Amino acid sequence: MLGKRNALVGQSGGPTAVINGSLYGVIKAVAESKEIDNILGAIHGIEGVLNEQFLDFSKEAQHKIEGLKYTPGAALGGCRYKLDYDHKENINKLFETFDRYNIGYFFYIGGNDSMDTAHKVHELAQGIGYDLKVIGIPKTIDNDLVLTHHCPGFGSCAKYVATSVREAGMHTASMYTSEPITVLETVGRNTGWLPAASALARRDETEAPHLLCLPEVPFDESKFLVDVENTYQRVGGVFIVVGEGLMDTNGNYVNVQLDTVAKDAFGHPLLGGSSQFLKNCIEKNLKIKTRYIKLDICQQSAMHFASQTDLEEAVRAGKAAVEAACKGKSGYMVSFTDYDEEGAMQTGLVNLQDVANEERKVPLSWLNKEKNYITEKLISYARPLIQGEVKVPMQNGLPDYVSFGK
Amino acid sequence: MLGKRNALVGQSGGPTAVINGSLYGVIKAVAESKEIDNILGAIHGIEGVLNEQFLDFSKEAQHKIEGLKYTPGAALGGCRYKLDYDHKENINKLFETFDRYNIGYFFYIGGNDSMDTAHKVHELAQGIGYDLKVIGIPKTIDNDLVLTHHCPGFGSCAKYVATSVREAGMHTASMYTSEPITVLETVGRNTGWLPAASALARRDETEAPHLLCLPEVPFDESKFLVDVENTYQRVGGVFIVVGEGLMDTNGNYVNVQLDTVAKDAFGHPLLGGSSQFLKNCIEKNLKIKTRYIKLDICQQSAMHFASQTDLEEAVRAGKAAVEAACKGKSGYMVSFTDYDEEGAMQTGLVNLQDVANEERKVPLSWLNKEKNYITEKLISYARPLIQGEVKVPMQNGLPDYVSFGK
């Protein structure tokens, strides 16, 4: 067994309900592998490597490892650190640390920014001749990664959002005579997969949601107000779901916040308040009382009603990454390809560089002619992803989640 | 059986997750009563009586009646209609309608405004010598009704809020290095029972929530910023829960919306945005990135994770109302008195006039010395109310709620 090397796993970007499911998959597959010795977790992703902060899973209790399957947040801590190719000191530090801990395998669970980081690590390793197998594991509630059928994390978020829309929609419908309009805002910077998937809630045309505002469709105030007015006349009230990154016809976010800390480390504007923007727009123009809901990170962390299908796929993606690395692959992200004959989603591998920093938008052909709702294509796509509920252990009336580092 | 009269039941104010549980209790108890003939539902509360819009439960399928136990929104429709004593035409119409439908029993499920309406109907009936038994059934997520141990609806909301705080708190904790502060806003106009109950989420002092801003405690910006800074230094991040009706030291809401439709029919300002107010306050002064969450009516409608204890009590309150009316009582609200020796909450009756328009605040003695957190007293009070989970039937990955009138 001479020469067996260790693996390092990190979580990056914002957590999803099932991001720890992928971590669980990695840990399990490493334990079962013949090729890999021990596995360490990097605390706060690539930041943990630079700061030499690791979690040794072999020292954690087994029930905690099992608990990863139903624990929200990123157990290892997420990060929004942008790795700078040209920052020689950091790059040297990175590989010195890899070398000191005998790291031969690097698994990075994250979204498109994180796949960029993984890709850089892969290229740098190749450049200096350091033997490292780098595999990315997709993670995002936004569902905006390219070259994969969908992303782990999206199904659970879509299930929670659609459930919330059905519930808040029934609440709103029962109050049409006094509070007839509600706007619910989902996360998702430039893509509308979540507002689109909220349509899963609707069983007939009277039910919520009635109108969808996707980042893919430039916001046209006059048309929007006509749509709201028409729905109000037809149904008696209106339930609107809007993505946080709604843009005007000039490509500017309708609600960019111009405060002092308005951009994250990747330079993205920190959005918020597209629901409030629409509320104000409706109240000002139509003089109808409008509520708004901003679920924000509750969407990424709602493990109490997560999709069992999503969790299973997240675990599988983690395992597939380890299997690929053990076969000598590097520079790839695990992808979902398509359903097999038994209806199980199959995994594949795609080049990290083809995924990094790219965004997959909702196809405009999946929207109706008015571009204010989705068609059956999106429903058929999203429905399988929200099936089943993760069972969480309860204590004292609340979910009993595990936490590491305590 | 000559002379048996009918009952009318209405739902008023905003719905709670278990408001239909009380409706179910009323329907069941009427069916079992010897005194009452049929039961009608008033569509949109007292508005339905004035507009003669009723639902005849005897014509509804049994599975729909059973479905009331796990259906969010107000099945009959809620309302925010303020009954005007001096509006003779409406008052005449009210009693003409009661008489035409042979209504001898009137059950009104609602909060303090609705208990005011019930009280007026009771007094008006007495004034004109119309034989009517009026019993109010408490309902509010705010838990602000006086003379009752607690209110049906609060437990489910507290369970959902505490679960959301635990989940979003774990999410935030895993992102302390990049997005260290979150503010979550609960409903509750002038009372802080919900932000207070969110403390159920905390298992040790590092966990969310760290700071609570209750409407009972005047907001002091300097002290608040010191509290945030101290927690940030101690924990590495901060999770704050704030009530929507946060007030400054002059008794003004910190975030009153000055738009054109800023007050509801009862003259209450329509609040929103205390979380956004705190976010701006922190970012401006401490230059630390802060998220905010506004769950809004998702709190009132989260049947997918409602408290089984709360549901059972809501049903029991409905039944107790019918039993009291059948014993000839009128002008009362069902109350919860205390736990019996087996730990079951007992019901009683209190005068509607003593409840109407009154508000019960969180006792300041249940807060810590700093008034920025609650003590064990509140935990012991709230914990029993969130026990157990209502099982909702699922279809296609989403809760399968029934709806009436379709």
* 3-state DSSP assignment of residue A184: strand
Distance CA A301, CA B168 (A): 6
- Please tell me the predicted confidence (pLDDT) of residue B63: 92
Distance CA B326, CA B328 (A): 5
Q: Is B296 in contact with A168 (Cβ distance < 8 A)?
A: yes
Distance CA A188, CA A14 (A): 12
Known catalytic residue: B354? no
Is residue B264 predicted with pLDDT exceeding 50?
no
Residue B11: partners with Cβ closer than 8 Å, 6 or more residues away:
A174, B19, B20, B23, B45, B74, B75, B76, B77, B78, B109, B110, B139
Distance CA B223, CA B343 (A): 41
Quick one: which of B222, B208, B218 has its CA closest to B361? B218
* Confidence at B360, pLDDT banded by 50, 70, 90: very high
Residue of B142, B144, B227, B310 marked catalytic: B142
Q: Is B383 in contact with A396 (Cβ distance < 8 A)?
A: yes
Q: In this structure, what token pair is assigned to residue A80?
A: 């929004």
DSSP for residue A228: H
Distance CA A244, CA A250 (A): 17
DSSP for residue B275: H
Q: Is A78 in contact with B178 (Cβ distance < 8 A)?
A: yes
- Please tell me the predicted confidence (pLDDT) of residue B258: 39
Residue A101: partners with Cβ closer than 8 Å, 6 or more residues away:
A6, A8, A40, A54
Q: For testing the chain B interface, which of A114, A294, A383 should be mutated: the one with the most B CBs within 10 Å?
A: A294
Residue with tokens 């039944």, as numbered in its chain? B319
Cα–Cα separations (whole angstroms), residue A240 to A182, A184, A217, A231, B184: 6, 6, 15, 10, 22
Q: Is B174 in contact with A75 (Cβ distance < 8 A)?
A: yes
Distance CA A107, CA B397 (A): 31
Burial of A227 (0-12, 13-18, 19+ CB in 10 A): buried
Q: In this structure, what token pair is assigned to residue B371?
A: 């008034």
Q: For testing the chain A interface, which of B285, B308, B398, B401 should be mutated: the one with the most A CBs within 10 Å?
A: B398
Distance CA B188, CA B215 (A): 8
Q: How many contacts does A have with B, using Cβ atoms within 8 A?
A: 237
Q: In this structure, what token pair is assigned to residue B323?
A: 């039993």
Which residues from B are below 8 Å from A302, CB to CB? 164, 167
Which residues from A are below 8 Å from B176, CB to CB? 77
Distance CA A16, CA A145 (A): 14
Sign of torsion, CA B65 B71 B74 B75? negative
Radius of gyration of chain A (CA): 22
- Please tell me the predicted confidence (pLDDT) of residue B1: 44
Q: In this structure, what token pair is assigned to residue B7?
A: 């009952």
Distance CA A305, CA B86 (A): 49
Q: What is the pLDDT of residues B200-234, one digit of tens each?
A: 999 999 999 999 999 999 999 999 999 999 999 99
- Please tell me the predicted confidence (pLDDT) of residue A252: 85
The answer to whether the CB of B398 falls within 8 A of the CB of B60 is: no
Residue B77, Cβ neighbours under 10 Å: how many?
27
Task: ipTM value, please give it.
Answer: 0.95
Strand partners, B138: B110
Quick one: which of A372, A300, A353, A26 has its CA closest to A151? A300
What are the two backbone dihedrals, phi and then psi, of residue A367, each rounded to the nearest 5 degrees? -105, 160
Distance CA B190, CA B112 (A): 12
Quick one: which of B187, B195, B218, B248 has its CA closest to B13? B187
Residue of A113, A116, A142, A144 marked catalytic: A142
- Please tell me the predicted confidence (pLDDT) of residue B271: 47
Distance CA A246, CA B209 (A): 31
What are the two backbone dihedrals, phi and then psi, of residue B52, each rounded to the nearest 5 degrees? 55, 45
Cα–Cα separations (whole angstroms), residue A402 to A75, A88, B177: 9, 38, 20
Residue B256: partners with Cβ closer than 8 Å, 6 or more residues away:
B262, B269, B271
- Please tell me the predicted confidence (pLDDT) of residue B357: 81
Residue B96: half-sphere exposure toward Cβ, Cα within 13 Å: 9
- Please tell me the predicted confidence (pLDDT) of residue A205: 94
The answer to whether the CB of A183 falls within 8 A of the CB of A293 is: yes
Which residues from A are below 8 Å from B307, CB to CB? 397
Nearest CA in chain B to A257: B280
Radius of gyration of chain B (CA): 22
Q: Where are the extended beta strands (E) located within A147-237?
A: 181-186, 211-213
- Please tell me the predicted confidence (pLDDT) of residue A256: 66
The residue-averaged pLDDT of B345-369 equals: 95
Q: For testing the chain B interface, which of A109, A261, A298 should be mutated: the one with the most B CBs within 10 Å?
A: A298
- Please tell me the predicted confidence (pLDDT) of residue B406: 59
Distance CA A17, CA A315 (A): 12
Min Cα separation B34/chain A (Å)? 32
Mean pLDDT rounded to a whole number for chain B: 93
Least confident of A270-274, B66-70, B84-88, B113-117: A270-274
- Please tell me the predicted confidence (pLDDT) of residue B188: 87
The answer to whether the CB of A145 falls within 8 A of the CB of A151 is: yes
Query: Is the peptide bond between B384 and the residue preceding it cis, with omega within 30 degrees of 0?
Result: no
Residue B178: partners with Cβ closer than 8 Å, 6 or more residues away:
A78, A79, A80, A81, A264, A265, B289
Min Cα separation A284/chain B (Å)? 7
Residue with tokens 């054109």, as numbered in its chain? B260
CA quadruple A113, A114, A118, A120: dihedral, nearest 10 = 30
Residue A124: partners with Cβ closer than 8 Å, 6 or more residues away:
A85, A91, A94, A95, A130
Min Cα separation B390/chain A (Å)? 11
Cα–Cα separations (whole angstroms), residue A157 to A204, A296, A300, A301: 22, 11, 6, 8
Which residues from A are below 8 Å from B15, CB to CB? 171, 174-175
Which residues from B are below 8 Å from A18, CB to CB? none
Which residues from A are below 8 Å from B260, CB to CB? 283-284, 287
End-to-end alpha-carbon separation of chain A, Å? 34
- Please tell me the predicted confidence (pLDDT) of residue B404: 74
Nearest CA in chain B to A307: B397
Q: Is B399 in contact with A179 (Cβ distance < 8 A)?
A: no
Q: Looking only at Cα atoms, what is the longest distance across chain B?
A: 75
Q: Is A200 in contact with B397 (Cβ distance < 8 A)?
A: yes
Per-residue pLDDT of chain A (406 residues; tens, 9 = 90+): 458 999 999 999 999 999 999 999 999 999 999 999 999 999 999 999 999 999 999 898 999 999 999 999 999 999 888 888 889 999 999 999 999 999 999 999 999 899 999 999 999 999 999 999 999 999 999 999 999 999 999 999 999 999 999 999 999 999 999 999 999 999 988 999 999 999 999 999 999 999 999 999 999 999 999 999 999 999 999 999 999 999 988 888 887 643 334 444 455 544 448 998 899 889 989 999 999 999 999 999 999 999 999 999 999 999 999 999 999 999 999 999 999 999 889 999 999 999 998 899 999 999 999 999 999 999 999 999 999 999 999 999 999 999 876 5
The rounded Cα A5 to chain-centroid distance in angstroms is: 31
Which residues from A are below 8 Å from B78, CB to CB? 174-175, 178
Least confident of A393-397, B243-247, B263-267: B263-267
Nearest CA in chain A to B280: A259
Residue with tokens 């989902």, as numbered in its chain? A186
Which residues from B are below 8 Å from A174, CB to CB? 11, 15, 73-78
- Please tell me the predicted confidence (pLDDT) of residue B382: 98
Percentage of chain B modeled with pLDDT above 70: 95
Q: For testing the chain A interface, which of B64, B114, B177, B308 should be mutated: the one with the most A CBs within 10 Å?
A: B177
Distance CA B184, CA B165 (A): 8
Nearest CA in chain A to B398: A163
Distance CA A376, CA A41 (A): 42
Is residue B122 predicted with pLDDT exceeding 70?
yes
CA quadruple B279, B285, B287, B292: dihedral, nearest 10 = 0
Is residue B391 predicted with pLDDT exceeding 60?
yes
Query: Is the peptide bond between B209 and the residue preceding it cis, with omega within 30 degrees of 0?
Result: yes
More confident residue, B86 or A197: A197
Q: Is A399 in contact with B163 (Cβ distance < 8 A)?
A: yes
